[in-house]
């Protein structure tokens, strides 16, 4: 279905791409900056650094005190945060229109002049905070490290996606003030950043404000490297088993997928839905409903830009059932799907759910800004939000089958298994 | 010229545009079902919420969890369709359907793109009016809930929450036990239990359907009348709700021993108000922000930004249908357990001395000025309206509450805080007791009981 969200784009002389999407339905503006640096750019011995750096962006800059970014914008009615991922780092706030200039001024100050305020104390404090984030989300949780294990099993050592964005405790400990300075100089600068302004403003107002606050920043970021060589599917199965004190056996069956923003990746995403993502997916029907050998099944396709993407199926094995038998059944379904391809109903369902979830994700200014920045930063086209569904809709059942036969076979799977200790399986 | 001099002067903030919560259109069908709609241009995914008042204490004591299992099996087979057929009908139209219960009742929610709204309402109607509760689907969901209980007990934050309600509430209160039921009562739930519970409780009188989104060219009342107008049935008389009592010995410390934990989880609370509190709800929203709602709030200013003990600890007032709680929760590095708990309780207690005008204003501004963004999408509007309806309120409450923020000043905050916070904390800790229980005892913050997690 055709979408017509307004998109206007301009590039400042220093390389900052500015995209304005005018929408007066709410008297707010979302200010969203994507920097083309993520954990894929980290070097060995410094994993977790892009994310630690993102925390330091809240600890003050030349004209902003530590913590003031949060306190000043929240008191003006702002909701804000930042996130780091394999491919990129983003900083965002949604503010009343009258606070947009303050938000831009504060963003320009930290994106241009962070190092004026950087000190050992800030680094030590946020290193501690990040280590608690890691413990809370990963180390102190059942199955908390499953995703980290999946990345390591699917991508070879040294590959940009082999290590997780959160990094390792040892590498976090090793991070120094000079590391922060080098990272800022190499990766941060208007020529490696996209700014989206979405909401209650005109393109002219947005471009003028961007020029006013960011126009004076020099183009300091170094050139991006080319994407690494594409990876083929795994040549043979990989297995990583953990015997742990977990409540039930979990299987994660993971695959390499084609690189993002290609018909092949869209097809692989539809295949993952049909195999394990929909509530009517083949694995849900067989394992959860009919055989009741699994309590739940889910499937995910994560699009990446560096030559390869990731897909995985998560199976929560039912109490007393054999994880091996469940895995064998899942492999049978993979083989069958690769032979048959999707049914018309599977195609219709996966397309319909993709359409609804895409429209839902465009419903708020924040998420719309996020999508705009995503595609502008990583794929180039800021107008993508209006055309994605049409491109996705062109994928044919044959393409889905072909992709499944190439990428989603038992032979090319990596299995990460978290199994209950004490042989609790009957 | 230095960098600082080259930077443009800090711009002032101009006041926000006036804004009000979206207007509601309200009507009631002949069967007593309320219909509330919000036309929000540009929201192409329509959100529908059906709220059915159904106090949880209507569950038989030996079948607790029956309301949740019922909610989860409404779409697992109906008079006309098997579970698999029904799932396919939903999925082919891209409909997301979910249902759950809280202490006030059942909420069924549905998201659908505008062009499939009629089909979606028809399927909602079938699920709500004619669920078949097939035996194999019911037993599957019972087993899934039993497995879920094991998962909840393994996650420190959830384990802490379960122990907290058991410690905080009087054991005679339904609120002292998990909303979705515990193993002994869930394990014995049968299809017959669901049929009986459904017939007695899921009725149109007093229920309310909320439709929010871009409703241009949609006749909402006619659509709902078509789908749900012939729904009939009368349920149990709803008694006036009363506040769940706190246990006489609730002000104490329970330390759940989880050997080897690299973090310690805290769950701390005392009594709080519901939305109808005398003097208004607005100060309590502001208090949540000022005490524990941001990295610069009182709690995290010390425990995160100064000490680096935590990724974040949050405080807030949590209203129930009647009464409520003031809760603070989060996790800290294991070896900081004793110091962090002492600091945290000191911060919460010291707040009784009052708040500065500056932090009060920051809280008032945050709550008030973020409202347009917080209520910008169809799903947030529908959920707000549906959940308030279970308390007998409408979104007029939301609007009035936002206006009342103008009167919240520092003395009002201190008064509101002291009305409920007296230092009588229920404290639940999940961590390595062999290393830290003695230190916690030495804090002198109440009797400490160590139990296995």
- Domain limits, chain B: 25-228, 253-452
Question: Could you tell me the strand order of the sheet in which A309-317 lies?
Answer: A238-244, A414-420, A250-257, A309-317, A294-302
Helix (H/G/I), strand (E/B), else coil: B394: coil
* Percent of chain B's residues with pLDDT above 70: 98
Chain A residue with Cα closest to B258:
A140
Catalogue the E-assigned strands of B133-289.
208-213, 253-257, 263-272
Q: Give pLDDT tens digits for A74-117.
A: 999 999 999 999 999 999 999 999 999 999 999 999 999 999 99
With vertex at residue A188, the alpha carbon angle to CA A183 and CA A193, rounded to the nearest 5 degrees, is: 145
pLDDT above 50 (res B75): yes
> Do the two domains B25-228 and B253-452 of this chain adopt the same fold?
yes
Q: What angle do CA B170, B172, B174 make, to 5 degrees?
A: 95
CA nearest to B97, candidates B64, B123, B59, B136: B123
Q: Is the pLDDT of residue B430 over 50?
A: yes
Q: What is the pLDDT of residue A39?
A: 97
* Fold of the CATH domain A238-423: Cytochrome Bc1 Complex; Chain A, domain 1 (3.30.830)
H/E element, A18:
strand A17-22
Domains A8-214 and A238-423 fall in the same CATH topology: yes
Note whether B46 and B114 are within 8 A (CB): yes
**Proportion of chain A above pLDDT 70, given as a percent:** 99
Residue A379 is given by DSSP the state I
Provide the pLDDT for residue A426.
36
Comparing alpha-carbon positions, the chain B residue that sits nearest to A296 is: B144
> In this predicted structure, what is the pLDDT of residue A116?
95
Categorize the per-residue pLDDT at B5 as very low, low, confident or very high, splitting at 50, 70 and 90: very low
Where residue B246 falls among pLDDT bands split at 50, 70, 90?
Answer: very high
Asked if A203 and A8 touch (Cβ cutoff 8 Å), the reply is: yes
**In angstroms, what separates the C-alpha of B306 from chain A's closest C-alpha?**
7
Q: What is the mean pLDDT of residues A207-213?
A: 98
Q: How confident is the model at residue B58 (pLDDT cuts 50, 70, 90)?
A: very high
Q: Which chain A residues are Cβ-neighbours of B159 within 8 angstroms?
A: none
Residue A31 near residue A152, CB atoms below 8 Å: no
Q: pLDDT value at position A1?
A: 61
Q: Is B122 exposed, middle or buried (0-12, 13-18, 19+ CB in 10 A)?
A: middle
Given the candidates 3.30.830.10, 3.40.50.300, 3.90.1150.10, 2.60.40.10, the CATH classification of the domain at B253-452 is: 3.30.830.10
Nearest CB among B94, B362, B374 relative to A71 is that of B362
Which residues make beta-bridge pairs with A315?
A251, A297
Residue of chain B with shortest Cα separation from A109: B7
Give per-residue pLDDT as tens, A357-385.
999 999 999 999 999 999 999 998 889 99
Nearest to B47 by CA among B32, B36, B57: B36
Contact A255, A264 (CB under 8 A): no
**Are A28 and B376 a contacting pair at CB < 8 A?**
yes
| Partner residue facing B45 (CB), from A136, A280, A363 | A363
The domain made up of A8-214 has a fold known as Cytochrome Bc1 Complex; Chain A, domain 1 (3.30.830)
ipTM: 0.94
Residues A166-185: what's their mean pLDDT?
A: 95
Q: Which residues of A touch B45 (CB under 8 A)?
A: 356, 359-360, 363
Q: Does A120 touch chain B (CB under 8 A)?
A: no
Write the CA distances from B378 to B19, B48, B102, B114, integer angstroms. Answer: 16, 9, 21, 12
For A212-232, what is each residue's pLDDT tens digit? 999 999 999 999 999 999 999
Contact (CB<8Å) B305/A125: yes
Q: Is the pLDDT of residue B207 over 60?
A: yes
pLDDT of residue A425: 39
> Which among B7, B295, B372 has CB closest to A63?
B7
Helix ranges restricted to H, A26-119: 49-56, 68-75, 100-113
Interface of A with B in 167-196 (CB under 8 A): none
**Nearest chain A residue to B260, by CA:** A140
Average pLDDT score, chain B: 96
At a CB cut-off of 8 Å and minimum separation 6, what does A226 contact?
A: none
Supply the pTM of this predicted model: 0.95
Q: What pLDDT, on the 0 to 100 scale, is given for residue B7? A: 67
Mean pLDDT, residues B192-219 taken together: 96
Mean pLDDT across the stretch B404-418? Answer: 97
pLDDT of residue B292: 98
Sign of dihedral through CA atoms B412, B21, B94, B139? positive
How many CA atoms within 13 Å lie on the side-chain side of A295? 22
Alpha helices (H) along B155-297: 156-168, 183-187, 191-201, 220-228, 282-292
The alpha carbon dihedral of B102, B103, B104, B106 has a sign of positive
pLDDT band at A191 (very low <50, low <70, confident <90, very high): very high
Contact residues, chain B, for A109 at CB < 8 Å = 7
Tell the burial category of B23 from Cβ atoms under 10 Å away from its Cβ (0-12, 13-18, 19+): exposed
Which fold is adopted by the domain B25-228? Cytochrome Bc1 Complex; Chain A, domain 1 (3.30.830)
Give yes or no for a contact between B214 and B40, defined as CB atoms under 8 angstroms apart. Answer: yes
Query: Which pLDDT belongs to residue B2?
Result: 41
At B1 the pLDDT is 38
Please spell the DSSP secondary structure of A232-273, one letter per residue. -S-SS-EEEEEEES-SS-EEEEEEEEPPSSSHHHHHHHHHHI
Give the H/E segment covering residue B328.
strand B324-333
**Residue B149 scores a pLDDT above 70:** yes
Q: Give the tens place of pLDDT for each residue, B272-331.
A: 999 999 999 999 999 999 999 999 999 999 999 999 999 999 999 999 999 999 999 999
Shortest Cα distance from A200 to chain B (angstroms)?
11
- Chain B contact probe: residue of A3, A27, A66, A75 with most B CBs at under 10 A: A75
Q: B154 and A28: CB-CB below 8 Å?
A: no
Domain ranges across chain A = 8-214, 238-423
Span B68-72, mean pLDDT? Answer: 98
| Banded pLDDT at B18 (limits 50, 70, 90) | confident
Q: Supply the mean pLDDT for chain A.
A: 96
Say if residue B221's pLDDT is above 70. yes
Check CB contact of A230 with chain B, cutoff 8 Å. no
From A342's Cα to the closest Cα of chain B, the distance in A is 14
pLDDT category at A234 given cuts 50, 70, 90 is very high
B332-386 pLDDT per residue, tens: 999 999 999 999 999 999 999 999 999 999 999 999 999 999 999 999 999 999 9
Q: Is the pLDDT of residue B3 over 60?
A: no
Q: Compute the Cα dihedral for B293, B298, B299, B300 and give only its sign.
A: positive
């Amino acid at each position: 279905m055709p979408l017509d969200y307004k998109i206007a784009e301009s590039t400042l002389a220093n390389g900052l791409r500015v995209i304005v999407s005018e929408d007066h339905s709410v008297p707010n503006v979302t200010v969203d900056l994507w920097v083309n640096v993520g954990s894929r750019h980290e070097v060995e011995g410094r994993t977790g650094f892009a994310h630690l750096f993102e925390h330091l962006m809240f600890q003050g800059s030349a004209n902003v005190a530590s913590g003031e970014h949060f306190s000043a914008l929240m008191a003006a009615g702002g909701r804000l945060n930042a996130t780091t991922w394999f491919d990129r780092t983003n900083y965002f706030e949604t503010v009343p229109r009258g606070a947009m200039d303050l938000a831009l001024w504060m963003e320009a100050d930290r994106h241009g002049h962070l190092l004026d305020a950087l000190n050992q104390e800030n680094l030590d404090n946020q290193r501690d905070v990040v280590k608690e984030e890691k413990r809370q989300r990963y180390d102190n949780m059942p199955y908390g490290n499953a995703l980290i294990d999946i990345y390591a099993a699917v991508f070879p050592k040294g590959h940009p996606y082999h290590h997780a964005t959160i990094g390792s405790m040892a590498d976090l400990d090793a991070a120094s003030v000079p590391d922060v300075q080098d990272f800022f100089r190499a990766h941060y600068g208007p020529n490696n950043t996209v700014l989206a302004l979405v909401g209650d403003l005109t393109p002219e107002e947005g471009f003028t404000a961007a020029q006013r606050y960011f126009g004076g920043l020099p183009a300091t970021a170094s050139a991006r490297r080319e994407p690494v060589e594409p990876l083929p599917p795994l040549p043979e199965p990989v297995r990583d088993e953990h015997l742990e004190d977990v409540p039930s056996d979990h299987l994660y069956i993971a695959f390499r997928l084609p690189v993002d923003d290609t018909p092949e990746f869209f097809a692989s995403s539809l295949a993952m839905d049909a195999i394990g993502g929909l509530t009517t997916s083949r694995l849900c029907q067989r394992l959860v409903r009919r055989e009741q050998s699994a309590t739940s099944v889910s499937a995910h396709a994560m699009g990446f830009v560096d030559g390869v993407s990731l897909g995985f199926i998560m199976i929560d094995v039912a109490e007393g059932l054999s994880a091996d038998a469940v895995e064998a059944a899942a492999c049978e379904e993979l083989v069958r799907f690769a032979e048959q391809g999707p049914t018309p109903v599977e195609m219709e369902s996966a397309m319909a759910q993709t359409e609804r979830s895409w429209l839902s994700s465009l419903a708020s200014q924040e998420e719309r800004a996020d999508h705009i920045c995503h595609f502008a930063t990583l794929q180039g086209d800021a107008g993508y939000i209006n055309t994605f569904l049409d491109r996705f809709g062109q994928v044919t059942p044959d393409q889905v089958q072909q992709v499944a036969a190439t990428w989603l076979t038992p032979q090319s799977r990596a299995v990460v298994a978290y199994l209950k200790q004490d042989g609790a399986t009957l | 010229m230095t960098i600082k001099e080259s930077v443009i002067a800090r711009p002032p903030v101009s006041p926000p545009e006036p804004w009000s919560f979206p207007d509601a259109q309200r009507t009631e069908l002949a069967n007593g079902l309320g219909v509330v709609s919000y036309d929000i241009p540009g929201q192409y995914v329509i959100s529908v919420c059906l709220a059915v008042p159904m106090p949880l204490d209507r569950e038989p004591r030996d079948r607790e969890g029956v309301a949740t299992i019922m909610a989860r099996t409404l779409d697992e087979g109906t008079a006309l369709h098997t579970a698999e057929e029904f799932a396919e009908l939903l999925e082919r139209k891209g409909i997301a359907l979910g249902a759950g219960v809280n202490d006030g009742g059942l909420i069924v929610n549905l998201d659908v793109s505008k062009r499939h709204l009629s089909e979606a309402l028809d399927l909602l109607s079938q699920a709500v009016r004619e669920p078949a509760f097939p035996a194999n689907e019911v037993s599957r969901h019972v087993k899934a809930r039993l497995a879920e209980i094991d998962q909840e007990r393994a996650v420190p934050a959830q384990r802490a929450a379960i122990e907290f309600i058991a410690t905080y509430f009087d054991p005679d209160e339904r609120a002292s036990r998990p909303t979705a039921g515990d193993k002994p009562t869930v394990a014995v739930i049968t299809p017959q239990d669901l049929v009986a519970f459904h017939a007695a409780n899921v009725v149109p009188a007093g229920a309310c359907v909320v439709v929010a989104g871009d409703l241009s060219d949609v006749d909402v009342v006619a659509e709902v009348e078509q789908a749900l107008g012939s729904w009939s049935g009368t349920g149990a008389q709803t008694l006036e709700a009363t506040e769940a009592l706190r246990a006489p010995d609730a002000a104490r410390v329970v330390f759940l021993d989880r050997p080897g934990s690299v973090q310690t989880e805290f769950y701390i609370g005392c009594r709080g108000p519901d939305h109808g509190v005398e003097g208004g709800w607005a100060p309590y929203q502001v208090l949540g922000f000022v005490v524990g709602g941001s990295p610069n709030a009182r709690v995290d200013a010390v425990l995160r930004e100064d000490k680096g003990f935590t990724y974040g600890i949050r405080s807030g007032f949590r209203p129930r249908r009647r009464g409520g709680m003031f809760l603070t929760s989060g996790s800290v590095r294991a070896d900081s357990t004793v110091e962090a708990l002492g600091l945290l309780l000191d911060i919460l207690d010291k707040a009784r001395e009052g708040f500065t005008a500056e932090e009060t204003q920051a809280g008032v501004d945050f709550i008030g000025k973020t409202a347009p963004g917080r209520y910008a999408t169809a799903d947030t509007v529908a959920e707000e309206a549906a959940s308030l309806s279970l308390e007998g309120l409408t979104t007029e409450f939301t609007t009035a509450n936002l206006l009342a923020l103008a009167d919240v000043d520092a003395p009002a905050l201190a008064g509101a805080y002291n009305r409920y916070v007296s230092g009588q904390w229920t404290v639940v800790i999940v961590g390595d007791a062999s290393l830290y229980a003695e230190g916690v005892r030495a804090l002198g913050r109440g009797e400490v009981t160590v139990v296995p997690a």
